[in-house]
Structure 1
Amino acid sequence: MTAPFVPTLDHLKKAYSVTSQATQITPLLESAALAKETGAARVFVKPESLQWAGSFKIRGAYWRLKQLSADEAARGVVAYSSGNFAQGLAAAGQALGIPVTIVMPVDAPAAKREATAGYGAKVVLTDHGDRAREEVAAERARQISNDEGLALLHPFDDPEIVAGQGGAGIEALDQLIAKGAEADILFCPVGGGGLIGGVSLAFHYLSPATEIIGVEPEGFNGMGSSLAHGAIETMPLGPKSICDGLMARKPGDAPFAAVKAAGVRGITVTDASARRAMKFAFERLKLVLEPSGAASLAALFDGGIDVSGKTVVVVASGGNVSLADFMKHIADA
């Protein structure tokens, strides 16, 4: 099988020049409280939770839709997602006038299902039983693609998705320069790897001295394990995590190629750490983060990485969480 291509810096910049027309520039927030808590010299948080549709996902989705032929765009697309890619793709499709069908696991958060439909997408639910939910949803998406002639898009295993997500990294680097800072360490969450694929490449090309840490929930460290062993590995089925957006059992080929080229290493965080990070973000940073979006912040606190005297960037990937679930997680922290 041909190895997926790894987007170049020019490719990332070209994608960002397009996606930036349809996305917001999310801020890079410096937190003295985080620096004091961790012993870091400076800590910056990139809250992609403030992006359109509540996460970084619209960046890759918009760029991928722009690659469709006129015929493909007219017929529409189908993809599977537990929530954030669903919303990002639905929002991008609405902006571009492209019909979108999303297959979602029946146990995906209700707030994410409702938001996806709110952007005009057709939502199809799957019941996965004892099987891995992404496998069942992916099968249904392929069936719909074949039956209805829709272009089948993958939520993360696509070099163009990786390239589109790289805009978050380019943006953060521009903001660091404006603040007179250079990152020593970057923490970025990992599900299937689309976000860290693009962000790590941006830092690899433009800030090669930055150490890049991929953050996964315990039991779903497919990327970290794959990087450690030099080949893609699939994690066994186990207990769920509250970080529902990061529950991929293995990384995609395209993201794995990107993070391997960028020299990323992986660590894991517990659900308890994610809850504490959500609470800190709300109380001290005034940010509402979903558990997956708080994973990198959890790693800053509890990931075992020495940040003393370092300049740190934390990517907070999303904020799509219902009020009821948010309050429950905060209460349990």
Structure 2
Amino acid sequence: MSTDLQNRRIRLASRPHGEPVPSDFLHDNAPVPSPGPGEASLRTLHISLDPYVRGRMNDAKSYAAPMEVGDVIVGGTVSEVVESADDSLAPGDVVLGYGGWQEYSVEEVAGPRRLDPAAAPVTTALGVLGMPGFTAYAGLTAIGKVRPGRPSPSPRRRVPSAPRSRRSPACAVPARSRSPAASGRSRPLEELGVDVALDHRAPDLPGRLAAAAPDGIDVYFENVGGAVWDAVSLSLNEFARVPVCGLAANYNATSLPEGPDRSGALMGQVLAKSLTLRGFIQREFAPTMFEDFQREMSAWVTAGDVRYHEDVTVGLDRAPEAFVGMPRGDNLGKALITLS
């Protein structure tokens, strides 16, 4: 590949304090390198915007190493192979990789997974048929013990949270025993596969939730936290199960919330109601569940049992504003950047 090509990149310029601002992102260019042995050069087509990336901007110990100042912002990508130093990939192949916020990337051939554009739109590999969809599937089936088409482990209602990047899969996995879902915007209920959609910003959310689920809540898929958790926790039934994969309401927080320490009350609930609160990162379930997920979720999408929505922003330069807008609720569905 000619090194005359320039790679447009967006790098971490400084660690954000609270909500990221434009000066936290550095837009620059660099020559596109040629692939070495066992590598391929990829041209980015689509970039996944995910809330967890905000945590990696901080210099704090977590389940994934923090980015260093100066690093290209991380993220899943769908890319086209431009040049390959390995016979397993050829120019023109479309692959799922982890190129981040840049126009070109060089990745080890063992990493990217070849996609079939004829089987499904390639962007679904970043959403409903990819990591976000698998997170919903693993959390609800392995921890929530919800299985579509099978009898409920309890006759009471189940309420998955409706995170913006995982809303439809999280609602649709248990769709055959339809449930209320917390929602930030109005969408047709049949599209979500739920009986009731609630505005998670409503000041009377606890009352609305109690009215929507008068028999209480057995399963709550948690990746929001904040006021949504406060409302849901009041309605949890005995033996309720809470898969926890994120706390998006807290990602831009710079200090602990005001008010009394409520950890004692939470632990009292855990004890009195025999609650299961189980944090997880989807990768722990991938070795045993990912093939089942791909088969089942693909079938559900094809049959229309799972419907998904993508919120597409065109242009690499607009990635920061789209990323910052996610916690505000600016997107509807899986947030993607498409490079023109």
After TM superposition, the score normalised by the length of structure 2 is: 0.32
* TM-score normalised by structure 1 residue count: 0.33
